[in-house]
């Protein structure tokens, strides 16, 4: 069976970031990408329309919206309000689902496809087609779906034939991506059968699984989870009935603004910060404090105030916070002494192999970085050089990290990959300018 979409040419654009002495002002935390993906998936499976306030409307989430539309959902979007009206039943679309560059989108839609009547084809960007899917494919096949690889075993594009009796007992690795587990937790309550999921340890990114369970519970569905998140009992024939949901601010996006303040010894305020909902990346506050950054938390106003200072190396466990590694690596480059980021082997399966790309790109700037099996060792405190050939490798978080790294470099830096940042933080460049960063955008000829 042949499938997939022809690759579309990507317009590569680059940016020049100039060294900046001091930043000042305030930034509004963008809406959470992780929460938006999850509530849209719940909305697709819901018995009623769901109003989503303050959703992130950016590249990755737009891919999820497009896929939900192909499954029959309707959307009304106005300002900061999105309403999703679910279809009466799930039927495999005739068109191929294109998840673009979004791993969350394709993984969540795989389990939706396993519930749908008919065969759904799924694909994505060349970058996405390098990301592993085998663990989720094997789990869905054991539950009664029929998943086929259309080109290369273990990777998209895929064809998935659904069943109304999806269920039974399955197991899945917890070491590659928590998105596999969240995908099953979101979809299986809508099956006609009960399910049991066993997670093979180690279980990485546990807070993201807790986030999924929190949203599922708020939406009227019950899942029994063991305390260690290694076993789940999911009753079938349940109903999502949430009517409205407010998307909190995104801690992983905030991390780059915090890092910018830290390395420039600036004071910045971040507003629209959520202190209530589950978010793994809230740990950025604890991690930066370890490295000498002063951060004030105002729970009542939902604000953070960060004061950069003398930075020092630290040993940081990143097993539950893979999206923080790019920002932490940049801070480590400017911190005196050695920083060890560990527990992060699963970061190799993100939009890029982040351990490799961070090592390669920071090394171009003269930073001493060693990659090992589970993470990075960075010796900071030396001169960080400017570079005219930095590359985001198609990864929005690498691009944003390099922009921040350039703020205290000895010379301006040119970074390829400007087209990536809107995947998660569409106001990133605008926000940098608002706090005093000087940069120029350029589109490659042709």
Write out the catalytic residue numbers.
323
Only one residue has tokens 């589950």, namely 278
Helix residue spans in 2-131 (DSSP H): 33-45, 59-70, 103-115
DSSP state, residue 189: G
Q: Using the structure block, give the residue that is written with the tokens 């939009």.
A: 351
Distance of CA 398 to CAs 70, 191, 336, 420, Å?
31, 38, 22, 9
In terms of Cα–Cα distance, which of 308, 294, 293 is closest to 261? Answer: 308
CA distances from 9 to 158, 317, 409 (A): 22, 38, 32
In the Cβ-directed half-sphere of 284, how many Cα atoms lie within 13 Å? 29
Classify the C-alpha dihedral 176-179-183-184 as positive or negative.
positive
b/e sequence 379-398, b meaning 16+ C-beta within 10 Å: bbbeebebbeebbbbbbbbb
Residues 6+ apart with CB under 8 A from 285: 258, 295, 297, 304
Tokens of 22: 């001091």
């Amino acid at each position: 069976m042949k499938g997939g979409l022809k690759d579309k040419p990507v317009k590569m654009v680059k940016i020049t970031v100039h060294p900046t002495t001091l930043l000042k002002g305030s930034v509004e935390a963008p809406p959470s990408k992780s929460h938006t993906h999850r509530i849209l998936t719940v909305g697709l499976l819901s018995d009623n329309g769901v109003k989503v306030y303050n959703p992130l409307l950016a590249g990755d989430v737009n891919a999820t919206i497009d896929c939900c539309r192909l499954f029959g959902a309707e959307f009304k979007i106005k300002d900061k309000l999105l309403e999703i009206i679910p279809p009466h039943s799930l039927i495999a679309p005739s068109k191929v689902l294109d998840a673009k560059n979004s791993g969350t989108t394709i993984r969540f839609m795989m389990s939706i496809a396993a519930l749908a009547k008919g065969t759904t084809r799924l694909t994505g960007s060349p970058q996405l087609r390098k990301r592993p899917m085998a663990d989720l494919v094997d789990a869905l096949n054991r539950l009664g779906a029929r998943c086929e690889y259309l080109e290369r075993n273990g990777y998209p594009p895929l064809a998935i034939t659904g069943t109304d009796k999806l269920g039974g007992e399955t197991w899945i690795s917890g070491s590659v991506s928590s998105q596999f587990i969240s995908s099953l937790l979101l979809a299986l309550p809508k099956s006609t059968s009960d399910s049991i999921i066993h997670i093979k340890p180690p279980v990485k990114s546990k807070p993201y699984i807790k986030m999924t369970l929190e949203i599922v519970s708020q939406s009227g569905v019950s899942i029994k989870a063991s305390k260690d998140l290694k076993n789940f009992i999911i009753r079938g024939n349940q109903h999502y009935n949430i009517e409205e949901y407010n998307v909190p601010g995104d801690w992983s996006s905030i991390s780059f603004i915090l890092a910018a303040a830290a390395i420039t010894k600036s004071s910045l305020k971040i507003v629209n910060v959520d202190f209530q909902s589950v978010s793994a990346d809230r740990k950025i506050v604890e991690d930066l404090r370890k490295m000498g950054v002063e951060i004030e938390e105002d729970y009542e106003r939902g604000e953070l105030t960060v004061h950069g200072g003398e930075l020092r190396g630290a040993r940081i466990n990143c097993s539950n916070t893979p999206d923080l590694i790019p920002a932490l690596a940049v801070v480590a480059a400017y911190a005196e002494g050695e920083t060890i980021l560990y527990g992060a082997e699963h970061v190799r399966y993100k939009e890029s192999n982040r351990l490799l790309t961070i090592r390669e790109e920071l090394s171009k700037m003269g930073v001493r970085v060693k990659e090992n099996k589970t993470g990075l060792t960075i010796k900071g405190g030396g001169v960080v050089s400017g570079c005219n050939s930095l590359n985001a490798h198609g990864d929005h978080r690498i691009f944003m990290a390099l922009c921040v790294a350039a703020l205290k470099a000895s010379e301006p830096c040119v970074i390829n990959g400007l087209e990536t940042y809107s995947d998660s933080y569409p106001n990133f460049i605008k926000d940098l300018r608002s706090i005093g960063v000087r940069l120029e955008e350029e589109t490659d000829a042709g």
